[in-house]
Amino acid sequence: MYMVVHANCLSQEPVHNYGNFKIHDMGAVGFHYDFINDGVSDDNKGLAGFYNNNSILISGAFRPIFQDMEIMVIDDLFLEVGVGITNNSNFVVGNVFTPRNLLDVTLDYIGDAFYTGDADNTKIDGYAASTNKANFVFPIGDSAKLRPLELFSERTDTKAKSAYFFEDPNNPSTFSTPFNTNLRADILTGVSTYEFWDLDSDDPLRIKLSWDNDSNINTFADAIENLRIVGWNTQDGLWENLGGNSILGDFNAGELRSDLFIPDNYSAITFGTSLSTDSIDLGNYLVTPNDDGINDVLYFDAVALSPNNELKIFNRWGRQVYYAENYENTFDGKANQNFVVVASKKLPDGIYFYILTLKDINVKHQGFLSLNQ
C-alpha cells in the first residue's frame, strides 16, 4: 500500500494522534506543523517527513517510532517526547533540539538505524541515543557546532545516550553540581574549561573524541602527546584519566581514543592533560609478589645511581596509589595512599603507570608495570 498524507500548513493545526497512527510499507507522511502523539505510533514503515519554514514540535504522551525520517525545518525541529528511528534519519535543513534537562527525551537510533546529512547546522542539539548497537557516532553538538562522540562497545545490545555542551564544566547549565576542574587525579595537570560531553551507559565502552580551534587545547596542554580524555568521577568528585590512545592532530584539530570505562561512573567527559612524557623510558615490569623469589618487588637497578629519588605509581584512572622518597626496591603490590580502602591495601591485579625521578643525576624514567598478585 502506498500512502501520502500532508498536514495542511495553512490551517496551522497540529496533527494529533489519539488512537493508532501507522505509516504502512512504502508510505510517506509529510508533517508541516506540530505532531502530538497521545496514542500508539510505534510500528511505522516508510517515511515521516517534517517540513516547515519556521519550527515544528513533536510532543505527546508516547514516543513515536519511525522507520525513515526526513528533517527540513528551517527554524529547527523540537522534541518534547522521544522519537525512535529504525532505519534512517536524513538531516537536510535545521537541527533537532531536545531539552537537556530531560534525559529521557532523545532521538534514538535503534538496531541498524543510521543517519545522513549531519553538519554544523544539521545535527542533534541535545541528547541522541543508541539502542542495541555495538558502535555508533552520535551526531550531537551545541549551537552552530557539530561535536560528535563515537563509541565502541564489546556488546551488540549496548544502550547509550549522549549530548555535547559548549560551556565551562565549572558552571554547567543543566547539572545540579559543578565539575571543578581544579579537582584532579594526581597524574593530571589540567582539564578543559571550554567544553564537555555527557555519556550515559552502564556497559563498558571506549570512545573517540575530536577537537578543533574552539577547544583551545593550547590553554591547558603543553604538548599534544600529553592530551587525555578525562572524566568526572561522580562518586569521588574529581577528574580522572580515561586514556589517550591513537592521538592524531595538532593544537588546531585532532582526535584521540579512551581506554575501556563505564560511562555511568562519570558525570562529564572532556579533554585534559597528564604529566609530561618528556623522559627516558626505563621499560615495563612484571610484579608477582608471591614469595617465590622472582619479580616479588618492583626492582630498578637505576636507584643505585641515585639514592636521592622519588617513585610515584598510578592506577589506570590516574589516581596515585603509591609514593616513596628514596625508593629502595620495596614495592610489593601494596598501596600506601589513603584513598585505597582495602584491607592491607593490597592492590588489584592490573596495569599501573610509574614515574621514577632520579634526582642525583637529573633523570626521569617512566613506564608501566603489570601487577599479578
Residues 262, 285, single domain; the answer is no
pLDDT string in tens for the chain (373-residue length): 333 444 443 445 889 999 999 999 999 999 999 999 999 999 999 999 999 999 999 999 999 999 999 999 999 999 999 999 999 999 999 999 999 999 999 999 999 999 999 999 999 999 999 999 999 999 999 989 999 999 999 999 999 999 999 999 999 999 999 999 999 998 899 999 999 999 999 999 999 999 999 999 999 998 999 999 999 999 999 999 998 888 999 999 999 999 999 999 999 999 999 886 555 556 789 999 988 889 999 999 888 889 999 999 999 888 899 999 999 999 999 998 876 555 468 899 999 999 999 998 888 888 899 999 8
User: What phi and psi, each to the nearest 5 degrees, are found at residue 224?
Assistant: -60, -35
Residues 192, 312, single domain; the answer is no
pLDDT at 276: 67
Distance from first CA to last CA of the chain, Å, rounded?
A: 66
Q: Which of 217, 241, 274 is the last residue of a domain?
A: 274
Give the ranges where 81-229 is alpha helix by DSSP (H). Answer: none
Residues 198, 67, single domain; the answer is yes
Residues 52, 140, single domain; the answer is yes
Among candidate residues 107, 105, 126, 127, the one with its CA nearest the CA of residue 115:
107
Q: Tell me the CATH number at 284.
A: 2.60.40
Question: 178: domain range?
Answer: 4-274
Residues 31, 82, single domain; the answer is yes
Residues 223, 359, single domain; the answer is no
Q: Which of 256, 274, 292 is the last residue of a domain?
A: 274
Question: In 127-265, which ranges are E strands?
Answer: 128-133, 135-138, 140-142, 145-146, 149-153, 158-165, 188-191, 196-200, 205-211, 227-233, 238-243, 245-249, 254-257
C-alpha cell at 22: 501507522
The count of domains in the chain is: 2
Among candidate residues 80, 48, 76, 77, the one with its CA nearest the CA of residue 63:
80
Query: For residues 69 and 92, what is the distance between their CA atoms, to the nearest angstrom?
Result: 11
Query: For residues 368 and 243, what is the distance between their CA atoms, to the nearest angstrom?
Result: 14
pLDDT at 281: 59
340 and 284 Cβ atoms separated by less than 8 Å = no
Q: Which of 254, 274, 294 is the last residue of a domain?
A: 274
Residues 14, 62, single domain; the answer is yes
Residues 24, 163, single domain; the answer is yes
56 and 73 Cβ atoms separated by less than 8 Å = yes
Query: For residues 117 and 323, what is the distance between their CA atoms, to the nearest angstrom?
Result: 52
pLDDT at 346: 87
pLDDT at 10: 42
List own/partner pairs for 219-224 with CB under 8 A and 24 or more apart.
219/193, 219/194, 220/190, 220/191, 220/192, 220/193, 220/271, 220/272, 220/273, 221/190, 221/251, 221/271, 221/273, 222/273, 222/276, 223/276, 223/277, 223/278, 224/249, 224/250, 224/251, 224/254
Give CA angle at 304 (303, 305), nearest 5°: 85
How many C-beta neighbours within 10 Å does residue 340 have? 17
> Alpha carbon 226 to chain centroid distance?
19
Residues 135, 175, single domain; the answer is yes
Residues 262, 335, single domain; the answer is no
Residues 197, 287, single domain; the answer is no
User: What radius of gyration do the chain's Cα atoms show?
Assistant: 26
List own/partner pairs for 20-24 with CB under 8 A and 24 or more apart.
21/64, 23/47, 23/48, 23/66, 23/67
Residues 69, 162, single domain; the answer is yes
Question: What integer best gives the mean pLDDT of the chain?
Answer: 92
298-325 confidence digits (pLDDT tens): 999 888 889 999 999 999 888 899 999 9
357 and 364 Cβ atoms separated by less than 8 Å = yes
224-271 confidence digits (pLDDT tens): 999 999 999 999 999 999 988 889 999 999 999 999 999 999 999 999
